[in-house]
């Protein structure tokens, strides 16, 4: 799959050097071993390195949760190195972007030697790309490039700000500084004569340009400086404010693996007040028929009676939105449940207009609480549908229906921009894990990060409500089941 390395070359590299992957090939190019292969001169080595780079940019970025895993492991290790004061992941990981290109780590230390040696000698390093007093770069065996910056302690705040970005945010902020006769760099805030004024704390950078501290998730150059100036920065929702999870799967249908007991225990450990058990409906393989759903709901309610403490399990469903826009189970049955998520799982290649109409029909059915994973995207493998989100939001606002922020790390759907539109439209979101395993209930933080990037506050998020208020919200939103949901064919 790599240009410039045909099957013969690949076979030779494999036999002579024992190289089996891209990282090994890159290492062999860089340390000269590749020259042992016949007809492999410096020019071909260079073109192979170029091809590796192109291959990487094509295969793209790493999902945030994986990058965060690497970041946390690396900073934990660097913090133990003698002479290191701080080790903090910066860049797009700190801004919580859904995918990450390179991982940036900032270290403040007495001297750069010890942290940088520890960094390049980490066991997961495949290739050292550069090593220097202020910047070192490595590629991990996973393919992730990691850059380490080492700065003096008094520059921590300025460096944090500088390396967190985004580029657009930094340019806007530096322009503001110039207008005030200041210069902001990774080393600090300086006056016209080059005297350093401040920079030990990140707040210093913002204060120098007359602004309050702006959370990293908002630093995308999309109006955050103006909002800060006008005192309109949102008080972003925090994970601790979430009271429950409104979409998890049990072993009652298809692909879930948890018993009710396991879900309840996982919710208990995380301090959840409620967990909505929403298994698949009959159109999915092994999905619930009316009969099995009613049995399942009765089991959930009996479970609650037997477990008066801990989270309440809500008897719910993730009902399929069928190709004609109707729901996969009778409306009366759905209306008898505690929670209804409606999602599209079939005919994903319908036109955007049709997909919008299908979801709008579900919104107007009178029995749906939340539209699940509204855009259908799977990061790295499926683009979002070309659907009409503003139109769906308009319907959701009219009907009192929420949209989901699905916290599965490869979905994150709605995305940050969708969250911001939902807020503007006056539609609440439900941040849900869509857990299929008990461990997945902890994934809610990835959804919270999306919501924060979407400028959402606690009041914009449905599951910050306690159970009593959630039920009240539901009663207000719900009308009687409507027997003839508007057909998509009408659009
Ligand atoms: Zn689903
Ligand atoms: Zn689901």
**Does one domain contain both 129 and 173?**
no
* Claim to verify: residue 191 and residue 293 sit in the same structural domain: no
**What is the average pLDDT value for the chain, to the nearest integer?**
92
Q: Are residues 32 and 94 in the same domain?
A: no
Identify whether 234 is part of a domain.
no
- Give distance in angstroms: CA of 371 to centre of ligand 1: 10
Q: Report residue 56's pLDDT band, with 50, 70 and 90 as the boundaries.
A: low
Among 196, 229, 262, the domain-final residue is 229
CA distance linking residue 255 with residue 437, whole number of Å: 10
Distance 278 CA to ligand 2 centre (A): 7
Tell how strand 274-280 and strand 244-248 pair up.
Answer: parallel
Is the pLDDT score of 1 beyond 80?
no
CATH number, position 342: 3.20.20.140
242 Cα to the center of ligand 1, angstroms: 21
Q: How confident is the model at residue 491 (pLDDT cuts 50, 70, 90)?
A: very low
Going by pLDDT thresholds of 50, 70 and 90, the confidence category of residue 85 is very high
- 146 and 159 housed in the same domain: no
C-alpha neighbours within 13 Å on the C-beta side of residue 467: 14
Report the 10 Å Cβ neighbour count for 288. 25
Query: Does 431 share its domain with 350?
Result: yes
Same structural domain, 250 and 304: yes
Of the listed ligands, the closest to the CA of 432 is 2
Q: Is residue 58 very low, low, confident or very high in pLDDT (cuts 50, 70, 90)?
A: low
Q: Which of 117, 151, 185 is the last residue of a domain?
A: 151
User: What ipTM did this prediction achieve?
Assistant: 0.99
Say yes or no: 45 and 91 in one domain.
no
C-alpha triplet 93, 89, 30: angle, nearest 5°: 90
In angstroms, the CA 489 to CA 354 distance is: 8
Which residue(s) pair with 150 in the sheet? 107
- Report yes or no on 308 lying in a domain: yes
> Does 488 have pLDDT greater than 80?
no
Residue 247 lies in a domain: yes
The stretch 374-403 carries a mean pLDDT of 95
28 and 132 share a domain?
A: no
Query: Looking at the structure, do residues 375 and 484 belong to the same domain, yes or no?
Result: yes
> What mean pLDDT is predicted for residues 250-273?
92
Does residue 214 belong to any structural domain of this protein?
yes
Question: What separation in Å is there between the alpha carbon of 280 and the centre of ligand 2?
Answer: 7
Distance 281 CA to ligand 1 centre (A): 10
467 CA to centre of ligand 1 in angstroms: 23
28, pLDDT greater than 90: no
Number of domains present in the structure of the chain: 4
Structural domain span for residue 166: 155-229
Q: Which ligand is nearest to the CA of 344?
A: 1
Mean pLDDT of 5-18: 78
Q: Model confidence over 285-298: pLDDT tens digits? A: 889 999 999 999 99
200 & 297 share domain: no
Is 337 within a domain?
yes
Task: Residue 159: give its domain's CATH number.
Answer: 3.30.210.10
Regarding whether 168 and 106 lie in a shared domain, the answer is: no
Q: Which of 229, 253, 270 is the last residue of a domain?
A: 229
pLDDT tens sequence across 396-442 = 999 999 999 999 999 999 999 999 999 999 999 999 999 999 999 99
354 occurs within a structural domain: yes
Residue 2 lies in a domain: no
- Residue 78 and residue 161 in one domain: no
* pLDDT-derived band at 490, boundaries 50, 70, 90: very low
Query: Apex CA 63: angle with CA 60 and CA 65, to 5°?
Result: 160
Residue 1 domain flag? no
What pLDDT, in 10s, does the model give residues 194-250?
999 999 999 999 999 999 999 999 999 999 999 999 999 999 999 999 999 999 999
Report the CATH number that the domain containing residue 132 is assigned in CATH: 3.30.460.10
Ligand 2 center–CA 412 separation, angstroms: 13
């Amino acid at each position: 799959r790599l240009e410039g390395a045909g099957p013969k070359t690949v076979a030779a590299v494999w036999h002579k050097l024992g190289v089996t992957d891209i990282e090994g090939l890159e290492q062999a190019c860089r340390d000269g071993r590749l020259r042992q292969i016949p007809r492999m001169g410096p020019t071909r080595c260079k073109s192979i390195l170029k091809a590796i780079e192109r291959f990487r940019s094509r295969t793209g970025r790493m999902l945030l949760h994986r990058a965060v895993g690497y970041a946390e492991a690396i900073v934990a290790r660097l913090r133990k190195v003698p002479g290191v004061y701080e080790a903090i992941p910066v860049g797009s990981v700190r801004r919580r972007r859904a995918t990450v290109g390179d991982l940036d780590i900032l270290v403040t230390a007495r001297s750069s030697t010890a942290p940088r040696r520890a960094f390049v000698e980490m066991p997961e390093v495949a290739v050292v790309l550069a090593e220097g007093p202020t910047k070192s770069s490595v590629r991990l065996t996973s393919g992730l490039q990691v850059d380490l910056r080492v700065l003096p302690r008094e520059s921590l705040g300025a460096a944090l700000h500088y390396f967190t970005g985004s580029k657009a945010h930094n340019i806007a902020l530096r322009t503001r500084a110039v207008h005030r006769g200041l210069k902001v760099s990774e080393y600090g805030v300086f006056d016209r004569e080059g005297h350093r004024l401040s920079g030990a704390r990140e707040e210093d950078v913002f204060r120098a340009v007359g602004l309050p501290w702006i959370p990293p998730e908002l630093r995308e150059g999309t109006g955050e400086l103006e909002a800060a100036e006008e005192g309109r920065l949102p008080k972003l929702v925090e994970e601790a404010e979430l009271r429950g999870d409104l979409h998890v799967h049990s072993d009652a249908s298809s692909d879930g693996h948890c018993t009710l007991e396991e879900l309840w225990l996982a919710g208990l450990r995380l301090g959840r007040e409620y967990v909505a058990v929403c298994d698949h409906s009959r159109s999915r393989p092994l999905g619930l028929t009316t009969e099995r759903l009613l049995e399942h709901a009765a089991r959930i309610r009996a479970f609650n009676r037997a477990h008066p403490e801990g989270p309440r399990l809500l008897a719910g469903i993730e009902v399929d939105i069928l190709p004609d826009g109707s729901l996969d189970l009778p409306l009366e049955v759905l209306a008898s449940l505690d929670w209804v998520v409606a999602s599209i799982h079939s005919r994903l290649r319908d036109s955007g207009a049709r997909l919008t109409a299908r979801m709008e029909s579900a919104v107007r059915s009178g029995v749906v609480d939340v539209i699940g994973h509204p855009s259908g995207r799977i990061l790295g493998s499926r683009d979002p549908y070309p659907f009409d989100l503003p139109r769906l939001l308009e319907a959701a606002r009219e009907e009192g229906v929420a949209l989901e922020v699905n916290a599965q790390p490869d979905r994150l759907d709605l995305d940050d921009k969708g969250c911001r539109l939902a807020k503007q439209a006056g539609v609440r979101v439900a941040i849900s894990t869509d857990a299929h395993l008990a461990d997945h209930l902890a994934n809610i933080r990835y959804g919270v990060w999306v919501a924060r990037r979407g400028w959402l506050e606690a009041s914009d998020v449905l599951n910050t409500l306690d159970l009593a208020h959630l039920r009240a919200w539901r009663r207000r939103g719900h009308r009687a089941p409507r027997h003839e949901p508007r057909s998509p064919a009408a659009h």
